[in-house]
């Protein structure tokens, strides 16, 4: 996959060997970063999945999500600040949407800070709609979160029963 502002992107699942690079992104991307232990637990969870984005062999972003009961719940989307506004998050989320659609998932959900207009704009451009409000969702400052969802339609239809 190629992007206009800076070269080829390579998407793959995150591994334990990526934790140092992921933590380097996490600590500059968020005011209240997840802990190393939290990421390790996510990598061990049977329903947790990830996408790591690399450019020139260097991790520049990632998404952590869960697959549960035919639905995907996005838990964390992060792009290193120097790589933002280059289509990295769009590429990762597009990859997840495509895969989820092909595999027959029904919907995707995520929470986003009420103040994060840039992320909300990205999510809406990818077909997410606001469907609720989570009061005091963020523990660092009590900020509310918008709950957003994207309904998915399988590309495959069941054969008709004649």
Asked if 108 and 72 touch (Cβ cutoff 8 Å), the reply is: yes
Beta strand residue intervals within the chain, DSSP E = 2-3, 7-8, 10-12, 48-55, 58-68, 71-79, 107-113, 129-134, 145-151
Active site residues: 111, 123
Asked if 6 and 82 touch (Cβ cutoff 8 Å), the reply is: no
Cα-trace Rg, the chain: 16
112 vs 148: CA distance, rounded Å = 8
What does DSSP say about strands 10-12 and 107-113: parallel, antiparallel, or unpaired? unpaired
Phi-psi map region of 159: left, alpha, beta (phi>0 left; psi -120 to 50 alpha)? beta
Phi-psi map region of 142: left, alpha, beta (phi>0 left; psi -120 to 50 alpha)? left
């Amino acid at each position: 996959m190629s992007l206009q502002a800076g070269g080829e992107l390579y998407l793959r699942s995150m591994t334990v060997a990526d934790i140092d690079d992921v933590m380097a992104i996490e600590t500059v991307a968020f005011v209240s970063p997840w802990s190393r232990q939290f990421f390790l637990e996510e990598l061990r969870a049977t329903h947790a999945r990830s996408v790591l984005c690399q450019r020139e062999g260097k991790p520049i972003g990632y998404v952590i999500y869960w697959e549960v009961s035919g639905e995907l719940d996005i838990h964390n989307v992060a792009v290193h600040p120097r790589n933002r506004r280059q289509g990295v998050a769009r590429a990762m989320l597009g990859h997840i949407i495509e895969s989820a659609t092909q595999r027959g998932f029904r919907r995707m959900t995520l929470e986003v800070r009420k103040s994060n207009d840039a992320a909300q704009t990205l999510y809406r451009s990818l077909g997410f709609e606001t469907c609720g409000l989570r009061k005091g969702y963020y523990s660092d400052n009590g900020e509310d979160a918008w709950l957003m969802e994207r309904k998915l339609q399988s590309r495959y239809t069941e054969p008709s029963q004649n």
